[in-house]
Structure 1
């Protein structure tokens, strides 16, 4: 009886420890995400803007200035760009922070995601923006989550902790 209790306690401890780790969870892209990613890969600005949430992000896509176009589509194959990451299937999506009707998702080529993650470190290892991952901001609206920034969040400056 005592041995059985010890085994149960040990097993419970392992389960609780597994739940306490903060390993990032990789999921396949949802159908709506795949449609947006397809427009990005096809370099179809009109379709992309149509699928985006209304606001400054969609306006930036509609009125592509050269800097925005380079960040989304790249100038040459292999440039650090949103499209470069999306052209390396299969893709892996990791959901990031969510609050006040907004969320961010990180998208990786699955092989890069697996290579970057270090089980000895807590949290998500992202690697190089536009080469190893992209970061896409979504907005919740009446018809569900819609891309709000054409994944330009990838190139947003990272806030430093002072």
Structure 2
């Protein structure tokens, strides 16, 4: 009898809590929360999606100021920094950059979401560096290192992500 009462109370609590599920952001979504929303951060929304699987393809895909959406697929390894151009959206789904850092410097309107960055060596820089940039949205990133790969840092200089 006690078990039945507990089960009924537990079920009532679950039903009354009414949890809502949020939709996962799509590749063309624009910022819809916080400072990034107020600034109108849209990245490369509306551009065609380019899927990259190699370091050279990633470097080529993110350069320039034209609107672009870049989807990272799989694991990309290396030991260098990739400079990200303006009006860019970089997304990953089960995507990893190993030893590869991203730099957002002197550009505006960049979205980086859903990417795992690990084991970036000191001579290659930081996992993500943002400097002198506006309208930046960094979302759902997994940044890590280990004892054999120096450090891990997310570096935001000046007023990045605040405008």
**TM-score tier after normalising by the smaller chain length:** under 0.3
Q: Relative to total residues, which structure has the larger strand share, 1 or 2?
A: 2
TM-score, structure 2 as length reference: 0.26
- Does 1 or 2 have the higher relative contact order (CA < 8 Å, sep 6+)? 1
Q: Relative to total residues, which structure has the larger helix share, 1 or 2?
A: 1
TM-score, structure 1 as length reference: 0.27
